[in-house]
Amino acid sequence: MKKVMEDFLNGLDAATKTSYACGHRNYTTWLAGRDPLKVSLQDLLDFQKWLASEYRSPNGKKLSKSTQCTRLAAIKAFYRWLHRRGDILIDPSIKLKLPKTKRRRVACDCLTQQELSAVLETQRSLLDGKQRGSRLWACEHRNLAMLALGFALGRRSKDVFNLRLQDIDEKRNEVRVDWEKGKPGRVYPVSKWAMTACMDYVNEARPILASHFEDDEGWLFVGLRTQRVCVEHLGRLLQSLQQETAERNPDLTELAGKRLKTHSIRTTYATMLFLNGANIRVVNELLGHEKLSTTALYTPLGLDDVRRALRLGHPRA
């Protein structure tokens, strides 16, 4: 049975696999040699109770409700997978309800339109300050294309870094994401300006970076020492640009104090769409969320926005 669990985990993307592996280790410990194909809903309820009350993390503390949800979700996903494969006739986890947790706002800030324009202009100036054709120039060109495509596409950071050259369709201004959060991906539209920045990098700067490797593996964003840039690079890039842009633009008083992370690119994309009139259902579709409640976390409504909508929409406002 251990091999079956390994097959399930190996079919997931790296981040989901790491997250779900903890839940499967807990479940294997609790099973104590019992066959997971023969468990019932009551058995899973007992496991849920054990996870909430008896299990302790390595530091001796109980698991938070959000962590319990993640580990139980791993078990539910495992049984759904077994049911689709035909290994079990009935999925015992269908009626297993996850603990209710308080929905939080996205734990990072987004950029305003002015701040985003200033950040991109700062990166452009860094590019212009390097000798054309050098490796440092190519790196700055890559960084500009990375930011432009990220802010125009709104995908999760790891999905952007997993892009290959064949995923870019310049003629249609589209990008194909093959695999996203353990599910087949889809095709996403991209703004013309971002596609232009991306293709300038592909045609002029990428060959300089790729020439230092014997075999070109086809990743879109190539690093100095590796064939694919890591997600951590984007986080460091954002932090350095935040500081540089704030110094160059003292009128942007709120920029220096914002919590910018890699996910800020995605939240900025969603917020700008929403504030510029995009229907929340459209934002939901572009972000690839299953639930509108998840999209709502990316599109907070201020009191002024509510009042404006009331005046425009209510016949007696």
Percent of the chain with pLDDT over 90: 50
Residue 64 domain-assigned? Answer: yes
Which contiguous run of DSSP H or E holds residue 188? strand 183-189
Whole domain around residue 211: which residue ranges? Answer: 118-262
Which of 85, 110, 142 lies at the terminal end of a domain, its last residue?
Answer: 85
According to the model, what pLDDT value does residue 286 have?
86
What is the Cα–Cα distance from 276 to 113, expressed in whole angstroms? Answer: 10
How is residue 67 written in tokens? 């962590």
Strand order across the beta sheet in which 183-189 lies? 168-169, 174-180, 183-189
Write down the residue that tokens 């023969």 correspond to.
Answer: 38
Residue 105 domain-assigned? Answer: no
What is the Cα–Cα distance from 3 to 24, expressed in whole angstroms? Answer: 12
Residue 185 domain-assigned? Answer: yes
What is the Cα–Cα distance from 148 to 68, expressed in whole angstroms? Answer: 37
Q: How many domains does the chain have?
A: 2
Q: What number of other Cβ atoms are within 10 A of residue 143's Cβ?
A: 22
Q: Do 141 and 212 fall within a single domain?
A: yes
Contact in structure between 123 and 140 (CB atoms under 8 Å):
yes
Residue 146 domain-assigned? Answer: yes
Residue 262 class from Cβ within 10 Å (0-12 exposed, 13-18 middle, 19+ buried)?
buried
pLDDT tens for the 317 residues of the chain, in order? 677 888 888 888 777 888 888 888 999 889 888 888 889 999 999 999 999 999 988 888 888 888 899 899 999 999 999 999 998 999 999 999 888 766 555 668 889 999 999 999 999 999 999 999 999 999 999 999 999 999 999 888 888 888 999 999 999 999 988 766 656 668 889 999 999 999 999 999 999 999 989 889 999 999 988 999 988 899 999 999 999 999 999 999 999 999 998 989 999 998 888 888 888 888 888 888 878 878 887 776 655 655 666 676 667 65
Q: Which CATH number is 17's domain given?
A: 1.10.150
Residue 310 domain-assigned? Answer: no
Residue 281 domain-assigned? Answer: no
| pLDDT, tens digit (0-9, with 9 covering 90-100), for 69-121 | 989 999 999 999 999 999 899 999 999 988 876 655 566 888 999 999 999 99
Q: Do 189 and 77 fall within a single domain?
A: no
